[in-house]
């Protein structure tokens, strides 16, 4: 039963944390560490993220259809699609070149993950308290050059604990986006980034996946999808009203608890 329950728990955790700036990778790696869950080359932890991506694609299906169906005649839609594509490319290069180091070294260091959670929490609280004057109230309004800069900032999330959504949100805020627009841009950038990670990791690890591993991935994938839909639907309204400070404090608390637990082990 544990072979099925643990993937379910981790899938729910992935869906709950993927789109909020607390680092879903850190949460599932740390949970797996303390619960005794392991997967071949950490493929489970990477692949189930596509369940969360499918959630945001589902929620934004109408918006995506509008963008792609009008791109041939609407320069703004075409510019936004190109901006997202170009923003995604830095993560492709670093993800491919650094895959073995990221998964073989960084993913296996709970202390590093805990420290980056704490540091990222401090940064998030600091940025949330800044008096910023947003210039862009929607993700589509962010200029292409600034969008590409956010793509480079996203690469910091290759270090587990930094948070892909956290890096892109902080980057977008620094580039002049409103809190809502920053979260929405993070959603759009997540789609190609995480889909690419899913495809590449499945390609590299396919020979290592037996029926039991595929079953675990399927359970985690489904759980991440369902919980991801719930989070995506509610997040924009929350951050527009309350900002990101709560997530920063959560990161600090989790990081400190993990360091204490590791010190007692």
Domain ranges for the chain: 2-110+128-245
pLDDT tens digits, 134-192: 999 999 999 999 999 999 999 998 888 898 899 999 999 999 999 899 999 999 998 99
Q: Is 210 exposed, middle or buried (0-12, 13-18, 19+ CB in 10 A)?
A: exposed
Strand-pair partners of 196? none
What is the residue-level pLDDT of the chain in tens, covering all 265 positions? 457 888 899 999 999 998 889 988 889 889 888 888 877 667 787 778 888 889 989 999 999 999 999 999 999 999 999 999 999 999 988 888 887 788 777 877 889 999 999 999 999 999 888 888 899 999 999 999 999 999 999 999 888 889 889 999 999 999 999 989 999 999 999 899 888 888 887 777 777 777 887 888 889 999 999 999 999 888 888 988 888 999 999 999 999 999 999 988 6
How buried is residue 263: exposed, middle or buried, by Cβ count under 10 Å (0-12/13-18/19+)? Answer: exposed
pTM over 0.75: yes
C-alpha atoms less than 13 angstroms from C-alpha of 195 in its C-beta half-sphere? 14
Query: What is the C-alpha separation between 103 and 107, in angstroms, rounded?
Result: 5
8 Å CB contact between 21 and 165: yes
Q: What SS3 class is residue 129?
A: helix
Classify residue 206 by burial, with Cβ atoms within 10 Å: 0-12, 13-18, 19+. exposed
How many Cβ atoms are within 10 Å of 163's Cβ, its own excluded? 32
Average pLDDT, the chain: 88
- H-type helices in the chain, by residue range? 2-17, 24-35, 43-47, 49-59, 61-70, 75-104, 110-129, 144-154, 164-174, 179-205, 211-242, 245-264
CA–CA dist 55, 50 (Å, integer): 8
């Amino acid at each position: 039963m544990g072979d099925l329950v643990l993937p379910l728990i981790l899938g729910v955790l992935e869906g709950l944390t993927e789109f909020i700036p607390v680092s879903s990778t850190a949460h599932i790696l740390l949970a797996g560490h303390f619960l005794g869950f392991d997967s071949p080359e950490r493929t489970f932890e990477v692949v189930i993220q596509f369940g969360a991506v499918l959630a945001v694609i589902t929620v934004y299906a109408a918006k995506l259809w509008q963008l792609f169906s009008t791109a041939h005649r609407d320069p703004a839609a075409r510019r936004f699609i190109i901006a997202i594509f170009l923003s995604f490319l830095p993560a492709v290069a670093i993800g491919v070149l650094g895959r073995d180091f990221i998964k073989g070294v960084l993913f296996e260091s709970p202390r590093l993950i805990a420290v980056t959670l704490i540091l990222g929490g401090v940064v998030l609280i600091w940025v949330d308290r800044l008096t910023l004057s947003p210039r862009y109230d929607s993700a589509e309004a962010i200029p292409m050059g600034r969008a590409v800069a956010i793509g480079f900032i996203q690469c910091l999330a290759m270090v587990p604990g930094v948070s892909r959504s956290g890096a892109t949100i902080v980057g977008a805020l620094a580039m002049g986006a409103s809190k809502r627009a920053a979260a929405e841009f993070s959603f759009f950038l997540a789609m190609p980034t995480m889909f690419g990670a899913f495809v590449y990791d499945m390609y590299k690890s396919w020979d290592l996946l037996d029926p039991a591993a595929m079953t675990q991935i399927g359970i985690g994938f489904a759980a991440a999808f369902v919980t991801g839909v719930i989070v995506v639907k509610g997040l924009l309204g929350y951050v527009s009203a309350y900002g990101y400070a709560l997530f920063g404090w959560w990161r600090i608390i989790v990081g400190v608890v993990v360091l204490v637990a590791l010190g007692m082990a």
